[in-house]
Each structure stands twice: as structure tokens, then as C-alpha cells.
A and B are shown apart, each in its own frame.
Chain A
């Protein structure tokens, strides 16, 4: 039997050593950051540059063979994923990760996916991730953390490889595909948000694989077999529909746009309906049916609850900004933390570079000799980048912008790739080298700028405890209290708690945190008011609240992330003073409350005494 030819890996193995050294620098930088020592930041950024720069340089070159480009894409994916792993190598600290830990734990405990999750309300409606992770935990005898990390690492790497193949077809060039993947890694969500143990990471792989199958469907279905491709697209559509809402809808919209352009560009056919099915229309129909059915019969409620808040907040903020109802959010500032001048400069250059590529790339697509419907829909997707930038200027649009970037960057990656692909190569070797170095530097700035745009200063590296800063608020005291709750308190007990401790109590603690409102009254009122008055006591009784968790450290500083409990709390993003220590201390003297647990920073109050 003939052997395959070995792929030509070129410089990829050697660049693997450079990437690994970059990871070592990141680890050293994070170590210094954890102890608030000097030098943490420079080491961290140097590590990122050492990982990304050499790979980008080689992907930009005209001489690298295809096998090497694929190897570099895999290397880039694994290396950047490990940067995220180095942030928290021993346990989950991101909010969504802890929510998915809870969902997976509940599935393993009960054998079914549960009807509610207090941390990530959509997990019952989109169980793809926990259904994938739980078998690894059960069969491989791994912890949820290790199984989840492995799942996301594997899925992300496969996604980047799929993205390479997709862009290769869209650009008709493996060089452009590699460049496109490097640009995609610059999206603000890539390094941490999409590297976390959450459903979107899995959905992106399935979504892009569906796009690859669609390419085969439209271009070479006879070779693969019509039935095989139809079955493939059906299976992928069904899986995508049960894994993530936004990715399903975004891929559906992309397929519809692609089908529309394909129909507009196609010559008239005798059998119009049959020819339409041989376009992206068929997978669009499959995905549309799957996503609609899933929404209608299973996930509609949780989807509306999750997305309506984000979308309405973004739309309202946008109108307020345009009509003058509110000023723009200060760019490069979050929760009182501001970026330095160099970070701002890098972020601005990154954004301007991407903006400049849009008209250049759109012009190439629309004026090109070859009318390619896939290229046109990707160009339109890239134009939406402007809208996501606008959302970042609004008070409540940042999250919508962050989530949209994963899809918008599919189009941006394509446009930047074809702009660079078509740059005229200088005749002299020195000129070519200079162009290569210049483009590498520019791409690296785009990458670093994307990370700066996507992550607030306090979230880029681990470090000492910060008040109300999500991942930076995971502390030994919080973990101890959560593990105590998980071991000793009745599972599912309802608790009033701040957002940061809710992550831990709702996951490892197995409890049901209430952080927003009870009967229309914001939870923050219970904590901020100086007295524990009868009205509050009635709310706690009526709301069947079993415990109140009080973190004394909330009185140390205003909330770094902008809020203590929820983004909608009174004073969110505008507090200049922390909750008073006296307000947090009132629970110790409140009639009907007894402190059943204390570790100094965190106390848990039992409310049994309120029920007489």
C-alpha cells in the first residue's frame, strides 16, 4: 500500500521552540504579577510577541509550503491557548467556566441535564458542551477542570485548522489562509473569552466545519457523495443548534447571504428549485429548521432571557449615545482602570489598520473579475466591524460587541488576507525582507491591540485580590467558603451574595445565588443600606432566601469591574465610594440572622431566625 508523502513542515518545529520560550516568559510574567512584583508586564508582553511574531513572519512569507503553514496554524492555536491556561492552570476562574463546571457537575451527578443553572442560565438549553465533557470525566477519570481544558484545547485547535481550510477556499491561496488565521487571532475575544470552557468555543468548530461541508456541497458533491454530504450537513446543523444560540444564528445568516449571492450570480436554470438546493440554501434550510425547532421546543425561554438583556442594553445605549441621552463610554477605561499611553497607541493602530483594510478589500472583492458569492458575503460581514466598534463606545454595548467580534472577524480576516496577498512583492531581496518585517510588526501590533481592546487592564494577567473583579476576585477565602458550602449546606439553597462570590458559591458551593432582584428590589439594597429593616426582612422571607453571604472586603474599594452585584444595580460603573464597612457589619447584629460560618473575610448568615 502506498504511503502518503510526509508534509513539508519547514520551519514549524523550530518555531515551536520559540513559542515555547514565549510561553515560559508569559509564565514568568504571570508569576511576578501574582506577587505584584516588578517586571511582570514586560515579560508577559514579550512572551506574547515571541509566540505570535515569528509565526506571523513565516505565515506572511511567500516561500513557506502549505504543510508548514498548516503546522504554524496549529502551533499558533496551541500556544495561544496555553497562554490562557497559564493564567489559571489549577482551576477555573472565569465566570462562564464556573457556570459550565456547574452544568457538567449536575449532569454527572444526575445523569440528565438540569432545568436551571444560576450562573449561566442558557446551559439547560444548550447542553452540547457538557454532553461532550462529561464522558471524558466519567471514562477518563479526569476532573471536570482537566477534561474541560482538554476539550477546549482540542476543539480550538481543530477550529483554527478548519478556519485555515475555509479561508484557503475563500481566498484561493494557502498563504492568504495562513495570514487570515493570524488576523483572526487578533479578535478581542480570541485569547481569553474564546479560550475558556464555554459553549461558544465548541460551537465555532461545528459552525466552521458546516461551512467547509457547504463548500464541498456547492463545488464537489459528486466526488464525496450527495447522501454523505447531506447527512454531514444535517448532523452538524443539529449539533450546532443544540450547542450555542448566537453561533447558530450567525452561521445561518452567513449561509443565507451566501445563498442569496450565489443565486444572484448564477445563470438562469431550467429546474430553479433543484439548482437552489445545490447552493448554500440547503444547509441554511437545515440549520434554520434545527435552530428554530430547538428554540421553539426547548431553548426559547433561556435564549430570550440571555439575549434580550444584552441586545436591549446595546440598542438602548446606542440610541442614548446618538440622541445625546448619555455621553460615550471613555475608551480604554474599565472599572476605573485606565490603559497607559502605549497600550492606547497600540490599540488605536490596531483598529485603524483593520479599518483601512476594509475599503481596500471590499473594492477587490466587488471589482474582481471572478464573482464569488462567498467572498461577497465575507466582505459584508467585515463591514459590520464598524458597528461593533460603535457599540464599544456605549455604556452597555461592550458585551454585545465582544460576542459579535468572533463572527465579524471571519470577514475581517478574509479581507486583510487578500489585501496582503495582492501586495506587490519588491524585486530586491532587501525590499522583500523589509516588507516582511514591516508587515510582521504591523500584524503583531494588530494582535496585541485586539487583546488590549478585549481585556481590561486588571484582567490581562493574574494578580493579587481585587474587589468585584471577577477572575481577580477568586481568592483562598472565597474558595474555602464555597467548598464549605458545597460540603455542608443543602444543595440548591438560595443565597444573597455579590457577583464574584456567586461564581464560587454557584459552582463549587452547589448553591443558588440571587444577585439581581427580589420582587423588583435590587439585591444591592440589602447590602448597601445601613440598616436591616423590616422591609428587607420580609423580602428575604418571601424570596425564600436561606443564607446571606457577606464579603467584608467589598468595603475596601469601589468595584473594580464596575459593579458589586449586577451591571444593572444602582450606581453601577459610577461608584466612587465603596460599600461602607458599617453597612456590611449590620448583619452581625440583625435580628433573625445568625452567622454560621466565618473565615474572617467571608461570613455566611443563616436566615432561619426570620421564619417565625
Chain B
């Protein structure tokens, strides 16, 4: 191919426009829904469409075959390009977007050149809307089913009633510990928390947590000698509810 084509078919122009739009919404601040609407077809369909357009001129494949190749070549593109590129550089959003844009820049003129003055893609069929009327109804019912299932699954998890307590080394110093609690009781709960070592109280707290709320504090310790652990006890309704401990070795 000695020259870039001067004129491009509508489908290839649209592919190029989709790639550019994908780049713009990735770089600029756009609502997530707009991003998803543009980027998902760009990621799932565009690479395969372009590869199929380069390899197979219009009319050589049936419509059904072309659909299959579009999806398959999208898999091929992401799998093989990612495989090769990650050997040299790490894959991230910018790299993936660059791969998509490079493919578009190369494939669009190649596909046009292959078509030459020959067959053009036929315009899509005008759908018989009356016959497609049940489809939105079906989609709405399916959406209700999915919403019901999601709500049911969330409710099942929400039915569990428990509280958690933990103690960990401080990230900043070996002279402190982080203690925490989480409420998953389904209602507000008042807790008492006591940190002690060898029976000697080091710190006490009283707090109320709403459902799914978390409480954390960093507690400084006096110099530690011996092997007795630091103990955190969580009380609920005046009774010991949960207990955790941290060995001095974990602080070093």
C-alpha cells in the first residue's frame, strides 16, 4: 500500500470515531454511565470489528459469521497484544487505550485499502419494529428478575448478626497497637472496649456503632517486657462478647 486511502466507508469512520470518543472519555471527566456506554463497546467490539474488516472484505462472510469473528477477534486482540506488551511494560489504562488507538490507526486505512473499489458493506436491515415490540417487555421482566435476585442475595447476607473485634500492630511504631470493632448486628449497638496486658488495664473506650459501622483507634503501650500478649476485650450489654490478642513478637 503506497498511499493512504482518501475516502473511507461509513463503518470505518464510525469505528475511528468510537476509538477517539473512547480516548476522550477516558482522559476527561465524564459520568461513569457515559464512560461505560462508550467504552464497553469500544473494548468488546471495536478491536474485533477492525481485525475482521482487515482480514475479510465485505460480502465474504455471512452476517452471523462476521458477528462471531468480531467477538473472537476482540478476544484475540486483547489476549495477544496484552501478552506481548506486558513483557516489556506494565499494563494499565493508558497502555490499553494506546493499544486500541494504535490498532484503529493501522486497521482503518488497511481495511479501506483492502476494499479498494470493490464491495461495500451493506447497510444494516431496517428492523420491523412491530415484530420487535415484545423485546423491551422481555428485557423489563428480566431486569425485574435480576433486581429481585440482587435484593434477595443482599438480604441473605444482611440477616447475619455478628460483631468483629481485632488488634494489630501499629503501622507507624512498634510501641502502639491498632484496635478495632465492626458492628454487623443489624441495629445500633453500644460497646465497651478494654485493652489490657497481664490483667492491667491500658485503655478503655465506650462507643456506639450503627449497623455496618467500624471503629478503630491507635493505642500506645508502655514498654513491653515478657511474652504476655496485649488483649482487647469487646463488651456488649455488660458481658464479654469478643476477645482478641496480639503477641509481643508481632510488634517487632
Contact = CB atoms under 8 A, between A and B. Distances in A.
Interface of A: 1-7, 9, 13-14, 16-17, 19-21, 23-24, 26-28, 30-31, 34-35, 70, 82, 85-86, 88-90, 107, 110-113, 127-128, 131-132, 134-136, 138-142, 150-151, 154-155, 158, 161-162, 164-165, 202, 205-206, 209, 212, 223-225, 228, 231-232, 235-236, 238-239, 242-243, 462, 475-477, 479-481, 484, 488, 592, 594-601, 606, 608-609, 611-612
| 6 residue pairs, one from A and one from B, having the closest CB atoms | A111-B90, A476-B160, A20-B141, A16-B138, A6-B125, A131-B82
Contacts of A165: 64-65, 68
Contacts of B124: 3-4
B134 A14 contact: yes
B144 A24 contact: yes
B168 A488 contact: yes
Contacts of A595: 243-245
B145 A24 contact: yes
Nearest to B82: A131
A382 B173 CA distance: 66
Contact of B64 (A31, A150, A161, A231): A161
A3 B68 CA distance: 21
Contacts, number: 286
Contacts of B51: 235
B163 A600 contact: yes
B160 A16 contact: no
B148 A24 contact: yes
B164 A150 contact: no
A479 B212 CA distance: 13
A462 B246 CA distance: 37
11 contacts: A4-B122, A13-B138, A16-B138, A20-B138, A139-B42, A231-B55, A594-B244, A594-B247, A596-B244, A597-B166, A598-B243
Task: Tell me whether chain B's interface is mostly helix, strand or loop, or mixed.
Answer: helix
A112 B86 contact: yes
A115 to B, nearest CB: 13
B164 A598 contact: yes
B1 interface: no
B198 interface: no
A113 B79 CA distance: 12
Contacts of A110: 90
B165 to A, nearest CB: 6
B204 to A, nearest CB: 19
Interface centre among B22, B36, B68, B95 (most CB of A within 10 A): B68
Interface of B: 22, 26, 32, 35-36, 39-40, 42-44, 51, 55-57, 60-61, 63-65, 67-69, 71-76, 78-80, 82-83, 86, 89-93, 95-97, 120, 122-128, 131-135, 137-142, 144-146, 148-150, 152-160, 162-168, 182, 184, 227, 229, 242-247, 249-250
Contacts of A238: 76, 80
A489 to B, nearest CB: 8
Given A594-B229, A599-B164, A31 B148 contact: yes
Given A1-B120, A34-B156, A228-B56, 14 more contacts: A3-B124, A4-B122, A9-B132, A16-B138, A17-B134, A20-B145, A27-B152, A110-B90, A111-B89, A209-B72, A225-B55, A225-B57, A594-B244, A609-B250
B191 to A, nearest CB: 14
B145 A596 contact: no
A4 B123 CA distance: 6
B60 A2 contact: no
B79 A475 contact: no
Contacts of A475: 157, 160
B93 to A, nearest CB: 4
Contacts of B90: 110-112
B67 A209 contact: no
B72 A158 contact: yes
A237 B75 CA distance: 12
Given A139-B96, A206-B75, A82 B142 contact: yes
Contacts of A27: 145-146, 148-149, 152
A356 B147 CA distance: 42
Contacts of B122: 1-4
B56 A609 contact: no
Contact of B83 (A127, A236, A479): A127
Contacts of B137: 17, 20
Contacts of B95: 111
Nearest to B42: A139
Nearest to B143: A20
A20 B139 contact: yes
A111 B152 CA distance: 36
